[in-house]
Amino acid sequence: MKDIANLVGMYMKTTAKSWFQYRVDTVLKSLAVFLRESTEIIVIYFTLLKFKELNGWDIYEMLFLYSLIFLTYGIMIIFFTGLRDFGSTVRSGSFDRFLLRPRGELFQIIFVNSDWFAAVGHGSLGVVLFLVSAGRVGISWTPALALYYIFSIAGGVLIQGAVFLFLASLNFFLLETGSLKELLYYNMRRFAGYPISIFHRFIQFLMIYVMPFAFVNYFPAQYFLRKSDINAFPEIFMHITPAVGAVMYLFAYLFWRYSLRFYKSSGN
Amino acid sequence: MKKRNPLSPYFAYAKKCFLNRSAYRFDHLMNILSTCLQIFIFWEIYRALYGNKTQVDGITITMLTTNFVLSAGLGAVFCPDDYFLPGKIWDGSISTELLRPISFKGRMIAENAGNALFNLIFRFAPICIIAAVFIGLCPPAGLLHALCFLVSAFLGWGVLWAISFAVQMTAFWLINIWSILTIKNVFVRVLSGSMIPLWFMPDWMHKIIAFTPFSSIYFTPVQIYLGQLSFEEIALRCTIQLVWIIFIYAIGDILWKKGQKKLVVQGG
Amino acid sequence: MSFIEVSKVSKTFRVSKRQAGVTGMIANLFVPKYEKRKAVKDVSFSINEGEMVGFIGPNGAGKSTTIKMLSGILYPDSGEIKVDGYIPYKQRKSYVSRIGVVFGQKSQLQWDLPVIDSFELLKAIYRVPDKVYRNNLERFTEMLDMNAFINQPVRQLSLGQRMRADIAAALIHSPEIVFFDEPTIGVDVVGKERIRNFIRELNRQDNVTMIFTTHDMQDIEKTCDRLIIIDEGSKVYDGSLQGIRKKYSTLRQLDVEFADDVEIQPINDVKIVNMEQNKKRFVFESREVRINELMNTLLNKYNVKDISISEPEIESIIRKIYNRD
C-alpha cells in the first residue's frame, strides 16, 4: 500500500513538473476546458433565450439535467485521461514501455498521465451548473434524496468509465478509434444535454441501451423533477443507475483483460 | 537540365496527405456517420422547439437544417491541422524542417489543401447527399448564388486557415499551446454559427460578432447560398472575408518572422 | 536447460495492403485487402547466462518481433519461450523487473524533465532499494560520463547523450538480462564507441546477459561473441562471428594495381570491379577459380604494379546470406 501511494505520488509529481515547464498553457488549461465544455451550455442558453422552453423543460431544469453530465465526467476523467488518450499511446509505441514495467497496465495508464487540470475544468462547470440550477427547480433536499444523488453520480461515473475502457480495448484491434469515440461518446453526450423524450425512438434506444447516457442524467434528474415526459418510460429506470454502472464496468473490464493478448505493438 | 515546376514539391505534399487519409478507412466512415447523427439530432431538437410553428422570424426548419448541414460539411472540409507547427516545435524537428529548400508556410497550405480536397469528395459530398435525401435541404437560391457560395466558401477556408496559422505561431514562445488552441476553437464554434444559428442570437451578440472574423467562415457562404443577400451585399461580404484573411495572415506572418529569429537565437 | 530457451516460435500479423494510386485508394476505402504476414517462423535458439548475442537481419526480418516476444510484450502464436523458468508473456509483472530494454528509436525518459527526474521515477516504479539506486547511479554516471547533462531536460540533449541516459535508465534496477534494440542508431562515431565500451564493461563486471539488434556490424564485431541471423522470419545462422567467415566466406577478392589504364578481357567466373585510377578488384568463388591460376594469367598478360589478396568484409558476407546482393 505504502509502495503504491509512494509511486502514485511520484507520478503526480512528475506530471505536475512537466506541466510547469509550460506555465502559460497549464494555467490556461482549466479555463480552456471550462470554456470548451461551456460551448454546449452557451448553445442551450441562447436557444432557450429564444424559445423559452423545450418540451416543458425550462432553462434551469435543463441546466440541472446538464450538471449531472459534467459532475460525473469530471470525476471520471481524473482517473481515465490515460484511457481517453489510449489510442495515441498504442500508436506511438508507448504502451510497449508500460508492458515492460513491473506494474499493472491499467494502473500505469490511469496514473501516468492524470489530467487534473482538465478535471478541474469539467468538475467546476458541473458544480457551477448544479449551484445555479439546484435551488431553482423546486427540490426539497432530504438525506434520502442526497444519498440517491450520490449513488447516481457514482453510477454515472462508472457508466462513462466503462465506455472509455471498452473503447480503449478496441485499440488492440483497430488502427484508429478516435472517431468511433467521437461518434458514440462525445456526440451522444452533446445531445444527452436535452431531455431524451424529444428524440426519435431510435435515438432514445441508443441513449438507453447502446450508450446509456439516459441513466447518467435523464433518469436521475427525472427522479427529482418528475416532468410529465417520464411517463413514456418504465418507472424502474429511475432507480437502476448504480446497477447499470456496476454491470457495465464489470463487462468492460473483462473485455479489456481479454483484448490485451491481441496487442500487436507498433513500429513494424 | 530539365526544368522543374517550382510548385511540384507542394503538389507532392498535398497528394501525400490526400493518400494518407485513405489508410484510416474505418475512422473515416465513423466520421461521416458521426456528422450525420449530429445533423439528425439537431433537426430533432429544432422540431421539438418549433412545435407546430412553420417558421420563426422568417426562418424555416429546412433553412436551419441547410445552415447546419453546410456549416458542418464545410467544417469537415476545412479542418486545418492546428498542431502542424506546435508539434514540430515541441519535438524539436522544426530546426531541420526549416532547412529544407521549400517554404514551410507553403507546405502548411499544401498539406491542408490535400486534406481539404479529400474531405470535399469523401465527406462533404456524402454528408450533403444523405442529409438531402433523409431530411431535405433548401436548393441554392440560383445558379449565380451557387457560384458565389463556392467563392465565399473558399474565402471562408482562407479565414479559418489564417486564424489557425496566426494562433499556431504563439508556439514559438509557449511551445505547448493546447489551451490556446482549444480556446480558439471555442470561439470559432460559438461565434461562427455552426452550433447555434446566428439568426437566433440576441441583438447584443450580433454587435459583438460583427467585430470578429468568425461569421465570415461559414455563415457568410450559407447566407449567400440561401439567397438572403443581394449581390451588392455579397460583394461587400466577400471583400470583408478577403480583408480578414489579409489582416490575420499579416499578423501571423509578423509572429512567424519573430518566432524564427527567436529559434535562431536559442539554437533550436 | 539453458538460461533462455526459445523453441519453435511463430508470430503472424495481419497487415492491410495498400493499393497504389488514386483508384487504388478509392478501392481501399471500400474494399480493404489484408494479407497475413508471418513475421517469425519456427525460430528456436538458446542462450546461456552472461552471453552477448547479436541479432541481425534486414528490415522487417522479424528481429524486433522476436525481441518483443522475449521481453513479454507480444504473445507468440505458437511455440514456447522460457527465460530462467519464467514464461515472459504470462508472468509479465514478475518477469519484467528482471529485464531491461533499450529502444534506440523510442526514449523512455520524460521528454520535458531533467534526466535525473526520470531515474527517480524509475526507482519508484521498480522498487529499487536506496542503496542499490545510489550505487548504480553513481557508477553509470561515471561510466557513461553523464555528469555534464544529468540535470538538463531531455529535450535539450544530443542524440548521443540521450541514448546514454536511456541506457542508464534501462539498467537502473540492475536487470539480469538486457535487450538493446538499435542502441547506437544515429549516434556519432565517438558516441558509438563509448556506448560499446560501456556495454562490454557491464557484461564483464556483472555477468549480465545481453541481446542486441542492430544494423551496424561494428556494434556486433566489437561487442558480441555470438551472432544470430534472421531473414524473412527464419533463423539462417547461429554461431560465432569467426564461424560465419568460415562457413559462408568462399568468396575471395584480389586487388590489382596496373601500371597503366588497360582494358581487361573477361575471365570466366570472375567479377571485375573498377576501382580508383588503375586499380581493379577481382571477385570470385574459391572453389570455382584457383587463385594462383588467376594471378598467373594477370601477371603474364598485363603490366601489374601491385597485387593483394583480401577477405571480404563481414558486412558483405551477411548481405550475401540475405540473398540481396
pLDDT in tens, B105-128: 998 999 999 999 999 998 899 999
- Alpha carbons C132 and C135: distance in angstroms, whole number: 5
Query: How does pLDDT run across A241-267, given as a tens digit for each residue?
Result: 999 999 999 999 999 999 988 888 765
pLDDT score recorded for residue B268 = 41
Quick one: cell of A139? 427540490
- Alpha carbons C201 and A154: distance in angstroms, whole number: 56
Which residues, other chains included, contact B119 with Cβ-Cβ below 8 Å and sequence gap of 6+? B76, B77, B78, B79
DSSP chain A: -HHHHHHHHHHHHHHHHHHTTSHHHHHHHHHHHHHHHHHHHHHHHHHHHHHS-BTTB-HHHHHHHHHHHHHHHHHHHHHHHHHHTHHHHHHTTHHHHHHTSSS-HHHHHHHHT--HHHHHHHHHHHHHHHHHHHTTTT----HHHHHHHHHHHHHHHHHHHHHHHHHHHHTTT-S--HHHHIIIIIIHHHHHTS-GGGS-HHHHHIIIIIS-HIIIIIHHHHHHH--GGGGGS-GGGGT-HHHHHHHHHHHHHHHHHHHGGG---S--
C92 at interface of A, judged by CB pairs closer than 8 A: yes
Answer yes or no: is pLDDT of B132 > 80.
Answer: yes
pLDDT score recorded for residue A268 = 40
Quick one: cell of B252? 501571423
Give chain B's domain count.
Answer: 1
Q: Which residues 21-40 of A are in CB contact (within 8 Å) with B?
A: 21-22, 24-26, 28-29, 31-33, 35-36, 38-39
| SS3 label, residue C308 | strand
* Contact list, C25 vs chain B (CB under 8 Å): 18-19, 22
pLDDT score recorded for residue C249 = 67
Minimal-distance CA residue of chain B relative to A19: B176
User: Within a 10 A sphere around the Cβ of B127, how many other Cβ atoms?
Assistant: 23
C97 at interface of B, judged by CB pairs closer than 8 A: no
A257 at interface of C, judged by CB pairs closer than 8 A: no
For chain C, the farthest-separated pair of C-alpha atoms sits apart, in whole angstroms, at 76
Mind telling me how many Å the CA of C285 is from chain B's nearest CA? 43
pLDDT score recorded for residue B71 = 93
Among residues C158, C173, C318, the alpha carbon closest in space to that of C243 is found at C318
- Alpha carbons A11 and C120: distance in angstroms, whole number: 10
* Contact list, B122 vs chain C (CB under 8 Å): 29
Mind telling me how many Å the CA of C193 is from chain B's nearest CA? 26
Kindly report which listed range (B36-40, B225-229, C219-223) carries the lowest average pLDDT score: C219-223
Q: Which residues 222-261 of C are in CB contact (within 8 Å) with A?
A: none
Buried b (16+ CB within 10 A) or exposed e, A86-100: bbebbeeebbbbbbb
Size of interface B-C (CB pairs under 8 A): 18
Find the Cα–Cα–Cα–Cα dihedral A58, A60, A61, A63, rounded to 10°.
Answer: 120
Among residues A54, A60, A62, A191, the alpha carbon closest in space to that of B51 is found at A54
- Alpha carbons A119 and A123: distance in angstroms, whole number: 6
**Mean pLDDT, range B61-90, rounded to an integer:** 90
Main-chain phi, psi angles of A58, to 5 degrees = -95, 180
- As a whole number of Å, the end-to-end CA separation of chain B is 36
* Domains along chain C with CATH numbers: 4-245 (3.40.50.300), 249-322 (3.30.70)
Percent of chain C residues topping a pLDDT of 70: 91
Q: Are B209 and A60 in contact (CB under 8 A)?
A: no
Task: Provide the total of helices (H) and of strands (E) in chain B, helices listed first.
Answer: 13, 2
Element holding C44 (H helix, E strand): strand C33-47
Q: What 8-state DSSP symbol labels residue C7?
A: E
Kindly report which listed range (A180-189, A213-222, B211-220) carries the lowest average pLDDT score: A180-189
Q: Are C50 and C61 in contact (CB under 8 A)?
A: no
**Mean pLDDT, range B175-198, rounded to an integer:** 90
In the numeric block, the cell 441583438 is attached to: B203
A52 at interface of B, judged by CB pairs closer than 8 A: no
**Mean pLDDT, range A48-70, rounded to an integer:** 90
Instruction: Tell how far CA A165 is from the center of its chain.
Output: 11
In the numeric block, the cell 568462399 is attached to: C250
Quick one: cell of C122? 524509475
Answer yes or no: is pLDDT of C303 > 60.
Answer: yes
Quick one: cell of C282? 577481382
For chain A, the farthest-separated pair of C-alpha atoms sits apart, in whole angstroms, at 61
Quick one: cell of A263? 496487442
Mutate to test the interface with B, among A18, A19, A23, A24 (most CBs of B within 10 A): A24
Q: Which residue has the higher pLDDT, A56 or C34?
A: A56
pLDDT score recorded for residue B4 = 66
Kindly report which listed range (A77-81, A157-161, A197-201, C146-150) carries the lowest average pLDDT score: A77-81
Q: Are C133 and C122 in contact (CB under 8 A)?
A: no
Q: Positive or negative CA dihedral for A103, A104, A105, A109?
A: negative
Confidence of residue C170 (pLDDT cuts 50, 70, 90): very high
Q: What 8-state DSSP symbol labels residue B123?
A: I
Average pLDDT, chain C: 85
Q: Positive or negative CA dihedral for C169, C170, C176, C182?
A: negative
pLDDT score recorded for residue B1 = 47
Mind telling me how many Å the CA of A105 is from chain B's nearest CA? 26
Kindly report which listed range (A113-122, C7-16, C112-121, C278-287) carries the lowest average pLDDT score: A113-122
Main-chain phi, psi angles of C19, to 5 degrees = -100, 150
pLDDT score recorded for residue C22 = 61
- Alpha carbons C210 and A219: distance in angstroms, whole number: 60
Mutate to test the interface with A, among B24, B179, B184, B203 (most CBs of A within 10 A): B179
In a domain? residue B85:
yes
User: Within a 10 A sphere around the Cβ of B210, how many other Cβ atoms?
Assistant: 9
- Alpha carbons A170 and C3: distance in angstroms, whole number: 36
Q: Do A36 and B182 touch (CB under 8 A)?
A: yes
**Mean pLDDT, range A119-130, rounded to an integer:** 84
pLDDT score recorded for residue B25 = 72
A261 at interface of C, judged by CB pairs closer than 8 A: yes
Residue span of the structural domain in which B98 resides:
8-266
Q: Are B85 and B94 in contact (CB under 8 A)?
A: yes
In a domain? residue B245:
yes
Kindly report which listed range (B52-56, B76-80, C320-324) carries the lowest average pLDDT score: C320-324
Q: What is the pTM of this model?
A: 0.80
* Contact list, B23 vs chain C (CB under 8 Å): 16, 18, 28
Answer yes or no: is pLDDT of C124 > 80.
Answer: yes
Minimal-distance CA residue of chain A relative to B36: A183
Residue type for B15, please? K
Quick one: cell of C262? 588497360
In a domain? residue B106:
yes
Q: Positive or negative CA dihedral for B139, B141, B142, B146?
A: negative
pLDDT score recorded for residue B98 = 85
Catalogue the E-assigned strands of chain B: 55-56, 59-60
* Contact list, A101 vs chain C (CB under 8 Å): 96, 125-126
C175 at interface of A, judged by CB pairs closer than 8 A: no
- Alpha carbons B185 and B82: distance in angstroms, whole number: 10
- Looking at the partner chain, which of B22, B28, B92 has a beta carbon nearest the beta carbon of C155? B92
Among residues A79, A67, A65, A69, the alpha carbon closest in space to that of A127 is found at A67
**Mean pLDDT, range A134-160, rounded to an integer:** 93
Q: Which residue has the higher pLDDT, C216 or A207?
A: A207
* Contact list, C103 vs chain A (CB under 8 Å): 93, 96
Among residues C92, C65, C93, the alpha carbon closest in space to that of C79 is found at C65
C153 at interface of A, judged by CB pairs closer than 8 A: yes
Buried b (16+ CB within 10 A) or exposed e, B22-54: bbbbebbbbbbbbbbbbbbbbbbbbebbbeeee
Mind telling me how many Å the CA of B15 is from chain C's nearest CA? 9
pLDDT score recorded for residue A164 = 94
A265 at interface of C, judged by CB pairs closer than 8 A: yes
- Alpha carbons A83 and C283: distance in angstroms, whole number: 59
Query: How does pLDDT run across A14-31, given as a tens digit for each residue?
Result: 888 888 887 888 888 888
Buried b (16+ CB within 10 A) or exposed e, C240-272: eeeebeeebbeebbbbbebeeeeeeeebeebee
- Looking at the partner chain, which of A7, A10, A265 has a beta carbon nearest the beta carbon of C68? A265
Confidence of residue C98 (pLDDT cuts 50, 70, 90): very high
Answer yes or no: is pLDDT of B266 > 60.
Answer: no
In a domain? residue B3:
no
Query: How buried is residue B267: exposed, middle or buried, by Cβ count under 10 Å (0-12/13-18/19+)?
Result: exposed
pLDDT score recorded for residue B267 = 44
pLDDT score recorded for residue C325 = 44
